[in-house]
């Protein structure tokens, strides 16, 4: 077989994969647009931005996931809460920050918590620690200024009303639990 046919076939395969991905994204956007009207939200779509909301740290990674963002009236103590894994435990032995609570070993075992330790310890009262202990596994929560975001890492919801309603209910309960700890309204 001629090398030109091999190269042409490879390029055709790449084009087909690209077109299928674009088609699926278009269908997802259409479904989300319809769903947003159904559940009383506005769909912004690709390129939509929330001013002054910075999500992430120093390095850049692209994720496809469903994220809920809540804006409070005042700045929250900045923290990053995520499920703790084996690598985090190894990192802790070498000085990687993880705020643990002796009073709540289950919380400390399940989550990696980072931030200004004094502020975070004030925010994470026994009731908030218990809330997160009882929350099903896999949730991450980050704050920056007045913003709180909640998500499940690399979990993108299918555009189904029941899944989105459940997601909104769960993330709203997370925001309410944090809000109940201070005057951030």
DSSP β-bridge partners for residue 148: 70, 143
Predicted confidence at residue 167, as pLDDT, reads 92
Q: Which residues of the chain have pLDDT under 50?
A: none
The number of beta carbons lying within 10 Å of the beta carbon of residue 91 is: 15
Nearest to 178 by CA among 87, 68, 93, 100: 68
User: What is the dihedral angle through the alpha carbons of 18, 67, 153, 114, rounded to the nearest 10 degrees?
Assistant: 140
SS3 175: helix
Please name which of 51, 57, 26 lies closest in space to residue 159, comparing C-alpha atoms: 26
CB atoms within 10 A of CB 137: 8
Q: Where are the domains of the chain?
A: 1-42, 64-185
Which residues, 6 or more positions from 125, have their beta carbon under 8 angstroms from its beta carbon?
Answer: 181
pLDDT score for 120: 92
- What pLDDT does 78 receive? 93
């Amino acid at each position: 077989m001629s090398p030109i046919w091999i190269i042409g076939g490879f390029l055709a395969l790449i084009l087909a994969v690209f077109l299928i991905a674009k088609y699926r994204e278009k269908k997802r956007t259409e479904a989300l647009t319809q769903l947003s009207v159904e559940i009383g939200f506005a769909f912004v779509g690709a390129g939509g931005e929330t001013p002054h909301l910075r999500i992430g740290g120093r390095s850049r990674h692209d994720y496809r996931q469903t994220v809920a963002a809540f804006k409070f009236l005042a700045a929250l103590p900045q923290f990053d809460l995520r499920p703790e894994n084996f690598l985090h435990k190894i990192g802790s032995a070498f000085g990687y920050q993880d705020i643990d609570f002796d009073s709540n070993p289950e919380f400390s075992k399940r989550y990696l918590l980072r931030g200004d330790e004094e502020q975070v310890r004030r925010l994470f009262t026994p009731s908030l620690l218990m809330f997160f202990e009882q929350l099903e596994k896999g949730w991450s929560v980050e704050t920056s200024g007045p913003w709180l975001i909640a998500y499940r890492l690399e979990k993108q919801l299918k555009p189904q009303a029941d899944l989105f309603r459940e997601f909104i209910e769960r993330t709203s309960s997370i925001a309410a639990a944090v809000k109940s700890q201070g005057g951030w309204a």
